[in-house]
Amino acid sequence: MSQLTIEHKETSEEKIANCAPYTSLFRDALKEAHKLNASDIHIEPTADGLQIRIRVNGDLYTHKTLCNDHRQSFIQEVKRLSNLSIAISNRPQDSRLSLPSWKLALRVNSTPTLYGEKVVLRLLDMTTDFDLATVNLSDDVVNDLKEASKEKNGVIIVSGPTGSGKTRTLFSLLNSLDKERKNIVSLEDPIEYTFKGINQIEIKEPLTFADGLRAILRQDPDVILVGEIRDYETADLCFKAAATGHLVISTLHANSATKVIERLKNMGVEQYMITSNLKFSAAQRLVKKLCDNCSKRVDKEDINNVKDGFQLDGLRTQNLQGCKYCKNGISGRIPVMEYLTKSELNNAELLIPKKTLAQECINKVNNGIVDYKEVLTYE
């Protein structure tokens, strides 16, 4: 009688633990990125070879460069380790891998460029705390967000560029809801984190956000998270869902809280639908947080550059030399948000945010949390 042999499939952690030179180089980059709380690793082919860059606090830093002789071999090894097909090089690929002992998950994308395939790995810290109390938003922002989430129906939109912390804000908001008594459903592209008590649906071809939203509405939802409003069909369904008694939470690409409304109109959503159903419109950004250990008081000669609205006694600035607790004087990033609540949105003729990004920044500058130069970005 023949014996059944079960082949052992190598896990991602076992692959990365290999001592082969290119594997070691990849592992070292991953370790460095993890140690620095980096958000991404960029593996970029160049005319002269290849560079590995790590994004920390929003800025890219060169970790290593390789010559032409190693470029293709290293990229192939990275693809193998990242569960991407090494047989495909002429079109983009996406993958993911889990490193439980590192408490880390990676989202990976490869895309053909002039000199070869560029691979970007997004690092997802699986210990991230999705709680509005620890997300570092201002107390009044948190209170107004919670108030909006108490609405029986309506639309809550948080806008901002990729990597502005929208996912953490919105899922922290969902986690603050009564998941025992409510049917909460999310549509995501892709699913990055999993949450107990939330029915998560991943958008994959041929399923679209609009298709998923139609299906969800037949499953008696109380709260629906739509990962992103990308087109008129999705926007229209979101507002129709709100009008029929559901709370819809979503994101949109717009530059400010007021521009969210302009963007919705450009998509084709009627003004009366926006006025009747939009309960909270926000724009979020991440700003660099000064290191508590080594930040410096603002020098007297720099005081002349400080504008009205600042409390001069509390101003601090970045120590570019840094210390063992930070990277170049910066210890992570924190969110700032400008927003319109239901009361401001009801005044459609004169939309004035309850807080602007500049005002939020000034508040954090006056408390010595953010470098005063950071505010100039939002003026």
**DSSP states along 311-371:** -GGG-EE--TT--TTSBTTEEEEEEEEEEE-HHHHT-TTS---SB-HHHHHHHHHHTTSS-
CA torsion 191-36-119-127 (nearest 10°) is: -20
| CATH class of the structural domain 139-378 | alpha beta
Question: How many angstroms separate the CA atoms of 314 and 365, rounded?
Answer: 8
Bond into 190 cis (ω within 30): yes
**Tokens (6 digits) for 122:** 């997004």
pLDDT tens for the 379 residues of the chain, in order: 444 544 545 778 888 888 899 999 999 999 999 999 999 999 999 999 999 999 999 999 999 999 999 999 999 999 999 999 999 999 999 999 999 999 999 999 999 999 999 999 999 999 999 999 999 999 999 999 999 999 999 999 999 998 899 999 999 999 999 999 999 999 999 899 999 999 999 999 899 999 999 999 999 999 999 999 999 999 999 999 999 999 999 999 999 999 999 999 999 999 999 999 999 999 999 999 999 999 998 876 666 556 555 665 668 899 999 999 999 999 999 999 999 999 999 876 778 998 899 889 888 988 899 998 777 666 5
| In the chain, where the domains are located | 12-125, 139-378
Helices (H), the chain: 12-16, 21-35, 68-81, 139-149, 166-175, 209-216, 232-243, 257-267, 271-277, 342-345, 357-366
Q: Quick one: how far is CA 93 from the chain centroid? A: 20
Strands 184-188 and 154-159: unpaired
Tell the residue number behind the tokens 């739509």, with chain if given: 226
Question: How many angstroms separate the CA atoms of 104 and 124, rounded?
Answer: 6
Distances (CA, A) of 251 to 8, 144, 265, 278: 42, 17, 15, 13
**Tokens (6 digits) for 373:** 């130069």
DSSP 136: -
Burial class (CB in 10 A: 0-12, 13-18, 19+), 353: buried
pTM, two decimal places: 0.90
pLDDT of residue 1: 43
CATH of 12-125, one of 3.30.450.90, 3.40.50.720, 2.60.120.10, 3.40.50.300: 3.30.450.90
Contact residues for 265 (Cβ-Cβ < 8 A; gap 6+): 271, 274
